[in-house]
Structure 1
Amino acid sequence: MLVIRNKKPYVFEAVGPVKYTPLKQWIAHGEKGKYVVRRVEGGLSVEQQQKLAQTAKRYLGKPYDFSFSWSDDRQYCSEVVWKVYQNALGMRVGEQQKLKRV
C-alpha cells in the first residue's frame, strides 16, 4: 500500500515488523525493477486516504505472521493491507482464501 509521508512515497508492508519502506528501496528489492500498481476503481477521496493512513498506524511494528493465521497479533503482507482497507473504509480488496498446505 503506497503512502505519502513528508512528501515522499513509501510502501506500507509486513516484511518483519509492519513498517514503511521507501518506494525506491522497495522497488530495488524486487526483480529487475518491475512492480505492479493497482488502484481502487474511481479513486479515493482525501478523507478516505487519511482514514487509511490513520488505520495503518495501528499495525506498525506488528511482527510478521509466518503461520498465516488471521489474527491481529501478527500480520502477513496481504493480510495487513486487507485489514487496513476493511477497518478504515469497510472496503474488501479481494476475497479471503485459506492457504492450502501442499
Structure 2
Amino acid sequence: MSQSDENKPDFRLVLFGFCFCLMAMFAVIAYPRGEFLLVMANPESDPATLVAIIGDAGGTLVSSTRFEWLAVAHSNENNFASRLIEAGAVLVLDHALAAGCTEGN
C-alpha cells in the first residue's frame, strides 16, 4: 500500500457518517411534538380503526389523508403521542410530515 493510499479516508466510514447524519436529522424533524400529530394505524386495518385509536387517546381527527391508515390528529394534552401508541397506533410523527400525504384527498 502506498503512502497516498494511507491518507485517503475509508469510503465506508464516510458513507456511514453521512447516513447517520441523515437519520439524526430525520429523527429531529419527525419527533412528535405539539398539538397536531400524524398517526399511522396498521395499513391492513379499516379506516374506523384509525378513528377509534384517535378517539381512545382523547384526540380529534383533523384531516384524513389519501391513505386510509394515516391521519392528522389533535389534542391539547402533553402526552398525546404516548396515548396514541397505547391506543394502538403503529407510529406517531410530527404533523409536518403529512404535507405530501394530505394532497389529493
| Superposition TM-score, scaled by structure 2 size | 0.25
Richer in helix (by share): 2
Report the TM-score when normalising by structure 1. 0.25
